Structure 1
């Protein structure tokens, strides 16, 4: 009878449950995917922009990376809670006015979701799996310690402050726009708003987004990971067009105890892709394309091997 019960549990597969987390000004929403006899639970933190719980956004991304990762981890006995971040999809009503948004709000939400996930899964703590900007959210969330967070899984995360990355991206601007842009970034990094941003960068440096930029630009991922004493897994694809292997190596150098895994031929949305831009970007719109082999397996193996810190 026990053998039959175990077989039926396996056949039943993971159970998806809608989760509502109380918050102000409105609740936050997510999906808990629980396999039979889950050994651990993790919260998947989305990347930048209007990215939903499945890893998709209105900006042309339909790769369903987070749903596929959740399903891959469920196959390994790891439950996941993937979330619509504040201001996005089912959590849209919880988003503040742009001028009132701060990076710390995402970190506070990550801590609240970790406690909720641990409680619902009956575990002492939950892992944070941060993808892209979500990796920085995870690092900020553990600043100062949190016993409801088991450890960190950082996927395709930057290893340098955002200001350094933005300067690289803006380096090809013509003068005097480039000099004006760099000067504006310096002011924002110092905590001061700017009234004379270059017209060509009005969308990036609009007044209503500057308070958020001031809260985000000074954050140094390498310094944050160096200050954290829990288990850390760093995963990075070699054909990622948005974050480089150098970023992952910078994170690993700042935390020699971390586990670094480089996935050959894997892009930013964690799918097998060539380095060529057109073919690489095509994977961003293909939810039927599975995650690259080894991604979910490596993450699941690390979580199972490390248990509770």
Structure 2
């Protein structure tokens, strides 16, 4: 009898103890929330992604910044290019418990041209930086985010914008992820890209070596003319390259001049010492070759930026893809980003 009673009491004790030991707070489910903020009189629309979390917990958070051109909050230029770069980055960071804000910059999505409607020629690069600053403040003020644990993740031109924010916003970001960054002056990068394309066309027999040298000299002269405010002589340039230089002197002239005025390595000096910085470059990136990030990598070391520093991604292209993952982020990108986010 006593043996049965002891067994019953033991069973009761186990039943009573199990719920308390296994109890866990109910999690708030993940959600995408439309966010609206104002920058220079323009209403800007974005998406705040909040991952699953414990109620009341303040989350690490990242502002996502797109590359150049008419690139929207998801990292797309519809209908021509829809790689969903920023949407994929938001998903990857959510897996590590990081909330993200991405937005439609000027000329894209629901934001459109805003206050610049009818006068797009007045848009300059500082206007995009101010828009990103307003987005950072919006992310900082969200009820789910921890203002002491904010990061900025920028892709291509967005990485240069991230660098500028890193030395100016308050509170200063705890970290920056510069993914395939624009790390030299804009027109120098354009000239490098054009010369690479001309070299490839020469290898395919479209130009002679002499013609290649003539075109390269005309490209250099065009860059000099743009910087000195003189008309570009397009006589020796192929039509497609001539058209690009003509566009640089047209409605986008103010943007080109102000973007080209920024030398990214100089901006590193304004970072708070110890700011964690991830800089990635892909060996298959023909738009931003790894060699173009050398000066910025050195400047970050001199500014005493924190690790991990530059991470070279074998086989990865400018859109963060590799041959086995042409439509999603390459595993090496996900690994580098996750290591950065976890620390």
Q: 2:322, 2:293 → 1: CA distance?
A: 18
Match of 2:27 in 1: 9
Higher relative contact order (CA 8 A, sep 6+): 1
Seen in structure 2, the aligned counterparts of structure 1 residues 174 and 189 have a Cα distance that, compared at 3 Å, is same
| Residue 328 (structure 2) pairs with residue 290 (structure 1) | yes
Shift of 1:22: 1.8
2:225–2:231 contact (8 Å) kept in structure 1: no
2:140 is matched with which residue: 118, 121, 139? 118
Match of 2:340 in 1: 302
Seen in structure 2, the aligned counterparts of structure 1 residues 23 and 109 have a Cα distance that, compared at 3 Å, is closer
1:82 is matched with which residue: 79, 83, 102? 102
Q: 2:68, 2:51 → 1: CA distance?
A: 28
Q: 1:118, 1:146 → 2: CA distance?
A: 9
Match of 1:237 in 2: 282
Q: 2:73, 2:90 → 1: CA distance?
A: 10
Structure 2: give runs of 5+ residues left out of the alignment. Answer: 1-18, 199-210
Q: 1:36, 1:84 → 2: CA distance?
A: 24
Match of 1:286 in 2: none
Structure 1: give runs of 5+ residues left out of the alignment. Answer: 275-279, 284-288
Shift of 1:260: 1.7
| Residue 42 (structure 2) pairs with residue 26 (structure 1) | yes
Q: 1:202, 1:297 → 2: CA distance?
A: 40
1:108–1:141 contact (8 Å) kept in structure 2: no
Seen in structure 2, the aligned counterparts of structure 1 residues 267 and 25 have a Cα distance that, compared at 3 Å, is same
Seen in structure 2, the aligned counterparts of structure 1 residues 100 and 160 have a Cα distance that, compared at 3 Å, is same
Q: 1:133, 1:197 → 2: CA distance?
A: 27
Seen in structure 2, the aligned counterparts of structure 1 residues 63 and 108 have a Cα distance that, compared at 3 Å, is same
Match of 2:67 in 1: 47
Shift of 1:162: 1.6
Q: 1:273, 1:250 → 2: CA distance?
A: 28
Match of 1:205 in 2: 248
1:235–1:263 contact (8 Å) kept in structure 2: yes
| Residue 84 (structure 2) pairs with residue 64 (structure 1) | yes
Match of 1:131 in 2: 155
| Residue 223 (structure 2) pairs with residue 185 (structure 1) | yes
With 166-175 and 234-243 compared, the bigger mean Cα shift is at: 166-175
* Count of aligned positions: 288
Seen in structure 2, the aligned counterparts of structure 1 residues 93 and 162 have a Cα distance that, compared at 3 Å, is closer
| Residue 207 (structure 2) pairs with residue 157 (structure 1) | no
1:25–1:93 contact (8 Å) kept in structure 2: no
CA RMSD of aligned residues (A): 2.7
Q: 1:102, 1:185 → 2: CA distance?
A: 18
1:239–1:273 contact (8 Å) kept in structure 2: no
Seen in structure 2, the aligned counterparts of structure 1 residues 168 and 30 have a Cα distance that, compared at 3 Å, is same
Q: 2:214, 2:335 → 1: CA distance?
A: 49
| Residue 254 (structure 2) pairs with residue 218 (structure 1) | no
Shift of 1:165: 1.6
1:238–1:266 contact (8 Å) kept in structure 2: yes
| CA displacement, residues 233-276 of structure 1 (integer Å, 9 cap, x when unaligned) | 112222222111223343222212452222222221112227xx
Match of 2:171 in 1: 147
Q: Give the structure-2-normalised TM-score.
A: 0.75
Shift of 1:170: 3.6
SS of alignment partner, residue 111 of structure 2:
helix
| Residue 94 (structure 2) pairs with residue 94 (structure 1) | no
Q: 1:59, 1:139 → 2: CA distance?
A: 30
With 82-91 and 58-67 compared, the bigger mean Cα shift is at: 58-67
2:226–2:232 contact (8 Å) kept in structure 1: no
Shift of 1:73: 0.8
SS of alignment partner, residue 182 of structure 2:
coil
